[in-house]
Amino acid sequence: MHLRLSRGNLFEVDVEGLFPIMEAVRSGGDLRNLGGFERYTMEFDCPDGIVRFRIEAHTITKRG
How much is the pLDDT for 15?
67
Residue whose C-alpha is closest to residue 54's, from 39, 64, 44 = 44
59 φ, ψ (degrees, to nearest 5): -70, 135
Contacts of residue 32, defined as CB under 8 A and 6 or more positions apart, other chains included, come to 38, 39
Over residues 3-60, the pLDDT tens digits come to 677 777 777 766 677 788 888 888 888 889 888 889 999 998 877 887 788 888 888 8
Over residues 19-28, the pLDDT tens digits come to 888 888 888 8
